[in-house]
Chains A and B, each alone.
Chain A
Amino acid sequence: MFRIKYRRHLAAIFAGALAIVLGIRAYVSTLGPVLPVPVPADFAQLDSLLKSHLMACIRPLRDSPRDSHLREELALAYAANGFWSEAQLLFDQLSILDPQDPLPLLYSGVAREELHDPAASLVLYRRVTEMFPQFAPGWSRLGTAALEADSFDVAQSAFARLTSLAPQEWRGPAGAGELELRRGKPGEAIPLLERAVQLNPDSRTAHHLLGRSYLSMGRTNEASLQLALGRNVEGHPMPDAWTDRALAHIKSRADVLRLAKDALDEGDPATAARYYEEIRVHHPNEPELLNQLAIAYNRLNQPAKAIDLVERVLKTDPRHVAAQITAAYANSTLGRYTEALAHADAAVQITPDLALAHLARANAFLGLNRDLEAVAALESAHRADPGNAQLLVELGTILWRNLDRPDAALERLESARKLDPALAPIYPRITALYLQLGRTADALATVEIWKLVRPKDPEIPAALARIQSSRGTQFPHSIPSP
């Protein structure tokens, strides 16, 4: 009896245990194991903006550690803020959890590249392209990495594949062109790079490579222009589905400030102000931040708000040059030019060789209709920063429009063009000046270069029409449509 009972007990225990094991196994196999959530060693010391953002990604993942989407968000948050060791671990995990998604594996490679392990990243990029042959960003990354590693054959097939998968993507022909250039075949690189420039006239990389190719072929004039158009290249990998998601995770103060500055430079003060306000929540009294925010508000035509901010800065530090300059501009926006001039004068007094301070002065003088003094101030700015073509453009424009001195204006604008032939705003001005001076041939020659600098500039057809009407000739039908 006992024995039977015992056996029944044993069977029940065994069945129960088996059920538990099978249940766990089923659970684990369905949802995957609980994976660790990495946290940077210096987390406690991080800036509060960054820390709170990361914590907002860490906490839900800790609560739902099997949620791939949350793991992706944290991985991207780490990557976007430069925590590549932590990001690498998460991307590695994700590449196992989501083996059908190319992005985790791709970003595992990116993380290794960022951690200065190009050999490992190349291996991973190869794996991405083997597993996901239709995934164009994988081929782009592989081609670039292979080129860096002198694996020319791999690079060649990668760029060829990229071009066939994404024929409108400039990186395909640009990579193939760079490869030919590296192989010492600039003649073969040129058509590829010309195609890349055609696909994306704003790609400085393509312009630079094309310039180098022209140079190697002895086409120096064309090379000079292309190299000028290719100045200040910043490498950007081919965008993928995670690119914008990663951008939204940038919360490192240094990087948010950079994004804001980029937005300001690109004429988007609203975005800049949004970034600055985001930091201001955590750093309400930081002088540089307040000054930058003031610049953004002034450009948003909210000068009173800007003045309020810079006055806070100047109250604690009257020698804050940047704030003095911002105060000058904000007062100018309000039409308070005398106050603007006082701030600009203060800036010049503090740093006499700062071009921006002289520029602020010139701006105030213009508001006061003291054009000659404005020109003198701009000349001072130019002396302080003679390599700045934009200053010469301003100078030339005032000499032309305000003082009706077309010859002097042309001289300044031509100097600006010599300094920076890629500065597009020069061309309509020079063209118009040549026309005003009756030099239609020079005007036409200028437009020809203008077309190379900014082929899709809507002002070009109008300029050509003006030249045409001024000398009554017909022009080739190659005029780009607006």
Chain B
Amino acid sequence: MPTNTGVPIPQSIGPAWFQESAKSSGIQFQHASGHQSRHWMPEMESGGVGLLDYDGDGWLDIFFVSGGSLNPGPTPGSGNRLYRNLHNGRFEDVTHTSGITSGSDYGMGCACADFDGDGWVDLYVTNLRTNRLWKNNGNGTFTDVTEKAGVTCPSWSTSAAFFDANGDGLLDLVVVNYIKWTPETELACFSRGGRPDYCSPLNYQAPALTTLYRNRGDGTFEDVTKSAGLEQAYGNGLGVAVGDFNQDGRLDFFVANDAMPNQLWLNQGNFRFIDEGLLRGCALNSHGTARAGMGVVTVDLLDRGWMDLFVTHLVGEGNGLFINTNGYFIDTRSTRGPMTGSLPSTGFGVAFADFDHDGIQDLYVANGRVKYGDQSILPEDPYAEPNSLLRGLGGGEFERVNPEGGTTNPLVATSRGLAIGDLDNDGDLDVVVVNRDSSPYLLRNEVPKRGRAIQFRVVDPQNHLVPNARLCVEAAGRRQFRQASPNEGYCSSQDPRVHVGLGVANGVDRVTVRWPSGSEEIFGPYPAGGVVTLQQGSGKPASGVFQYK
């Protein structure tokens, strides 16, 4: 197993943080890129996962997105699969009864949200050609409403996110697209040693637009890409993260582009957006170089009330942290920051989470190459790499967890999408990772805890989950900032609940929620443990908690 140098790593091997239990949990999903001999570019980017409580029983179910086939012949692998949580550590494949099909789609990722406000979480699947919107019928089945809803998005879509762009209480949809690609425009590219290999997106010179759909509120969407101003900037989009980055009371979104400048689409109101990534310092690295952006998450790393951005990158680039200072970003490098040890790997899925409940967020990154490397770690998979687990030390500092990746036996695969959530409702966060042409990981959290935790469901007056609500959680004299960010990372959808580790505190003194509209409310106190629902309108009005410090 390769080790990184120059990176803090504990000398002694500690306890495992996770137990890999996909197979023993009944998950038989097998991702398939369809790779045969020719290196079709989409084969390298496919693989997402969504955590959603599709049957409303209070337990997270899992939706896996597979690739498909770009070659003639039958579709390999298991296709997209939906697994129902049986509440006993096991999952049941309910794909067939749910009505969800993959057909000839070539899958990339998914975003989960209740787009029509009927109380049932729906599923948007991004594909190489036509995306699918699966409406949850509330009886365990889904209906394909893509055409009717007007969200086909006939591009090569990757990540997507539902968010309320205009504050009307309806979830709009942003879909990130990668490149304009057809089999006819595929190119021959080569590895260092001259072997046929996957291309860089730059080889195609065909970046794509990000697509924005406005939710009309009647089950349909309007494509507002052009009128919103999104046609002003093209990119090779892979990741998307939503948040009010300049704290003007409107939700913005950030698009992580592969080898092109990232975009920061600042919401001007009335469905108008302007890309200010370059001006605000998050389009490029500090030298002005565009990196290969894959997954992206929002995180308030120093608990200051402003949302930073963490982007996973290509081998040799190191993962990137853009620290938000008053709406402007600084590409921050540090030998002890969350990019620690990332130089030798290519990161995709990413999530910050307090796995050990010490009150400091840790970091899990799903890694996997996109081109042949110097040495293959797995003979059967030249793109495989170990995933990374970093333990947060506070003050924005991290150390690598030993054993690597947090499992007793290192897990090595070409990992892509990643989702975190409390799958067994035991109060801590588990991890699900999709691996290219392989079985997924279901990593059950079993690290000895350093404290207690609490989870929040953040809902509007009609009890609909509110994505992108922000929380300031105060406990034992400390403040922690979080955002409900179900649709971020890489091609994946996370547990919509907000999990907060409390360390030594026995409970939360108060929670201030900043709603996407910009208004604030105070809730609490609450004892540690369990899931607390924070309903808009039922707290005390507040202001000024989310200020730059």
Contact = CB atoms under 8 A, between A and B. Distances in A.
**Chains A and B come from one and the same complex:** yes
Contacts of A178: 286-287
A42 B193 contact: yes
Given A253-B194, A350-B184, A116 B4 contact: yes
Given A116-B5, A385-B234, A286 B188 contact: yes
Interface centre among B185, B189, B233 (most CB of A within 10 A): B185
B408 to A, nearest CB: 26
Interface string B172-186: 000000001010110
Contacts of B335: 149-150
A185 B206 CA distance: 39
Nearest to B234: A387
B380 interface: no
Looking at chain A, what size class is its interface with the partner chain?
A: 35 or more
A215 interface: yes
A205 interface: yes
A234 B232 CA distance: 24
A351 interface: yes
Contacts of A232: 290
Interface stretch (B276-284, B296-304, B357-365): B276-284
Contact of B193 (A50, A117, A322): A50
A257 B190 contact: yes
Main secondary structure of the interface of A (DSSP, over half): helix
Interface string B183-211: 01101111111110100000001110100
B194 A49 contact: yes
Contacts of B334: 150
A320 B184 contact: yes
A209 B288 contact: yes
A351 B193 contact: no
Contact of A84 (B185, B206, B234, B374): B374
A179 to B, nearest CB: 11
Contacts of B184: 319-321, 350-351
A208 B343 contact: no
Interface stretch (A20-28, A133-141, A220-228, A457-465): A220-228
Contacts of B190: 47, 252-254, 257
B231 A230 contact: no
A230 B261 CA distance: 12
Nearest to A85: B374
Given A204-B288, A231-B288, A387-B231, A354 B279 contact: no
Size bin of chain B's contact surface:
35 or more
Given A117-B5, A288-B188, A321-B185, A252 B288 contact: no
A311 interface: no
Which of A224, A228, A353 has the most C-beta atoms of chain B within 10 angstroms of its own C-beta?
A: A353
A205 B375 CA distance: 32
Nearest to A419: B232
A60 interface: no
A81 interface: yes
A235 interface: yes
A150 B6 CA distance: 13
Contacts of A288: 187-188
A120 B5 contact: yes
Contacts of A233: 284, 287-290
A172 interface: no
A116 B343 contact: yes
A240 interface: no
A10 interface: no
Given A45-B195, A215-B328, A254-B191, A235 B289 contact: yes
A36 interface: no
B72 to A, nearest CB: 15
Interface string A345-365: 000001101101000000000
Contacts of A212: 281, 286
Contacts of A96: none
Interface in A381-425: 384-388, 419
A119 interface: yes
**Which one of B180, B194, B231, B290 has the greatest number of beta carbons of chain A within 10 Å?**
B194
B207 A387 contact: yes
A66 B510 CA distance: 74
B344 interface: yes
A231 B288 CA distance: 7
Interface in B243-289: 261, 278-279, 281, 284, 286-289
A153 interface: no
A118 interface: yes
B461 interface: no
Contacts of A356: 205
A287 interface: yes
B333 interface: yes
A287 B333 CA distance: 43
Contact of B194 (A50, A148, A388): A50
Given A231-B261, A354-B185, A117 B6 contact: yes
Nearest to A119: B6
A354 B181 CA distance: 9
Nearest to A118: B6
A49 B190 CA distance: 13
B316 interface: yes
Contacts of A350: 182, 184
A205 B333 CA distance: 17
Nearest to B288: A208
Contact of A235 (B194, B231, B279, B287): B287
A288 B192 CA distance: 18
Contacts of B375: 41
Contact of A116 (B188, B278, B288, B316): B316
Interface in A297-353: 319-322, 350-351, 353
A34 interface: no
Interface string B1-38: 00011100000000000000000000000000000000
A147 to B, nearest CB: 9
A31 interface: no
B229 to A, nearest CB: 11
A46 interface: yes
A220 B279 contact: yes
Contacts of B185: 321-322, 351, 354
Contact of A227 (B234, B279, B316, B328): B279
A428 interface: no
Contacts of A118: 6, 343
Interface in B223-244: 231-234
A191 interface: no
Contacts of B205: 356
B232 A387 contact: yes
Contacts of A321: 184-185
A319 B279 CA distance: 42
A199 B261 CA distance: 26
B288 A205 contact: yes
A65 interface: no
Nearest to A324: B184
A321 B205 CA distance: 13
21 contacts: A45-B195, A47-B194, A50-B194, A83-B374, A84-B374, A116-B316, A119-B5, A178-B287, A228-B278, A231-B261, A233-B284, A252-B194, A253-B194, A254-B189, A254-B197, A320-B184, A350-B182, A386-B231, A386-B232, A386-B234, A387-B232
Given A41-B375, A50-B193, A205-B288, 10 more contacts: A46-B194, A114-B316, A116-B316, A212-B286, A220-B279, A253-B190, A253-B194, A289-B188, A353-B180, A387-B231
Q: Which 6 A-B pairs have the closest CB atoms?
A: A47-B194, A208-B288, A119-B6, A233-B288, A387-B234, A116-B343
Interface of A: 40-42, 45-50, 81-85, 114, 116-120, 148-150, 178, 182, 204-205, 207-209, 212, 215, 220, 223-224, 227-228, 230-235, 252-255, 257, 286-289, 319-322, 350-351, 353-354, 356, 384-388, 419
